[in-house]
Amino acid sequence: MMDTSRLMFRDGLMDGMRILVTGGGTGLGLEMTEAFLKLGAAVHICGRRQGKVQEAAETLMARHGGKVVAHGCDIRDPQAIADMVDAIWDEGGALTGVVNNAAGNFVSRTEDLSINGFNAISDIVFRGTFYVTHEIGKRLIAEGRSASFLSILTTWIWNGGPFTVPSAMSKSAINTMTQSLATEWGRYGLRFNAIAPGLFPTEGMSARLSPGGRQDERSERNNPMGRHGEMHELANLAVFLMGPGAEWVNGQTIAIDGAGYQANGGNFYQALSPLDDEEWETMRAMIKGTNARDKAERTT
C-alpha cells in the first residue's frame, strides 16, 4: 500500500462522495481505493475473489476508518453487475463516481491465442467495462444525478500493443467510449475521463506481463526518468479527476508514464520480439500457473 502522506490533497476533500472501484481489492484499484477513503469518500469495491476484496476492505478500514464495502462480482456477467448496483443503491443511494479499473491481460504471440484466450480478456476489458458503465449510467440519468467516470487504460491505445493485442484493442475501445459518452452524456452531468498509466508494477500484472521480471527491469532502465511509476502519483491523478473542483475536465485521457511512451513506445515490442518458442512456452506455463492459482480463490 502507498505512503498516504504523499497524497497532495487535503483530508475531507471527498467527503460525501460514493465511488465504485472495479477490481478495487488488488493492484492499482486498491491504491486508488485507499486514496479515496483517506480523503473521505465511501468506497465500494468488487472483484471475482470475494475473500480478497473482503480482506482489502477490512484492512483499509482498520487503517483509515471510514467505509469500504466489498462485493464479489465478475463484470463479465451483466446480471451480477445489476445485483451489485442494486446492493450499492440500497446501502446508501446513488454513486457519485465509478472507476473502471478491473482488467485482464497476459502476454502472448497473437498467433498462439485461442478464441477463448481472446474472449477471456475482451469480455472483461471491452464488454465488462461497458456493462458497468451502462448499468450505472442509466440509473444516474433516470435519477438526474451527476457523476464522474474514470477508466484505467494504457498508452498502447495510441500506438498499439504488440503481444498484448486483445488488451490493446479492448482498451482502445474504452478510450472511444470515454470520448463518446463525455459528449453524449455531458448534458446529464456525467463526465468521462481516463488515465493511461505506464508501468506501475503490481502482482497481477507482473505475473502475466513480465513473468520472471524480465520486462519490468528493462522498462525501468529505458524510461526517461529511470524508474517505474509510484502509487501515490497515480492516486493523486485519480483524485484530481474524481474529486470536486475540476469538473470541466471531460473526455480526456491522460498518460502518466514518465514519458516512456514518447521515448520507446511504452509497449513490449522490443522486449518480446526476440523470444523463441521455448521461452514463450516457459512464460505461458508461468502465466497459466498464476491464472489457475487465482481461479482457485474465486467465488464468482
Q: Is 22 in the site for ligand HXC (CB under 6 A)?
A: no
* # binding residues, ligand HXC (CB under 6 A): 25
Among the listed residues 3, 65, 114, 226, the single contact to ligand HXC using CB under 6 A: 114
Single-letter amino acid, residue 298: R
User: What minimum distance in Å lies between the beta carbon of 86 and ligand HXC?
Assistant: 25
Asked whether 165 and 110 are in contact (CB, 8 A), the reply is yes
Residue 106 within binding range of ligand HXC, rule CB under 6 A: yes
- DSSP 8-state class, residue 112: G
What are the residues facing 21 on neighbouring strands? 45, 99
Q: Which of 129, 90, 102, 135 is nearest to 33 (CA)?
A: 102
Query: Within positions 65 to 104, which residues make up the interface with ligand HXC, using CB under 6 A?
Result: 103-104
Beta bridge partners of 151: 100, 194
Nearer to ligand HXC, 40 or 211 (CB): 211
Does position 5 bind ligand HXC by CB under 6 A? no
- Please pick, from the candidates 63, 138, 227, 288, the single residue that binds ligand HXC as defined by CB under 6 A: 288
Among 116, 221, 226, 245, indicate the residue that binds ligand HXC (CB under 6 A): 116
Reading across the β-sheet that carries 97-100, which strands appear in turn? 68-72, 42-47, 18-22, 97-100, 147-152, 190-197, 253-256
Q: Is residue 296 close enough to count as binding ligand HXC by CB under 6 A?
A: no
Which of these segments, 83-91, 93-101, 113-121, 271-279, binds ligand HXC (CB under 6 A)? 113-121
Rounded to a whole number of angstroms, the minimum distance from the CB of residue 108 to ligand HXC is: 4
Among 222, 252, 291, 299, binds ligand HXC (CB under 6 A): 291
Considering only residues 194 to 233 of the shown chain, the ones binding ligand HXC according to CB under 6 A are: 198-199, 204-205, 208
Q: Is the separation of the CB atoms in 1 and 27 below 8 Å?
A: no
For residue 183 the three cell numbers come to: 459528449
Give the whole-angstrom CA distance, residue 284 versus residue 187.
46
Phi first, then psi: give them for residue 47, nearest 5 degrees. Answer: -165, 170
Dist CA 137 CA 6 (whole Å)? 32
The verdict on 160 binding ligand HXC (CB under 6 A) reads no
- Site residues for ligand HXC per CB under 6 A: 103-106, 108, 112-114, 116-117, 120-121, 154, 167, 198-199, 204-205, 208, 284, 287-288, 291, 294-295
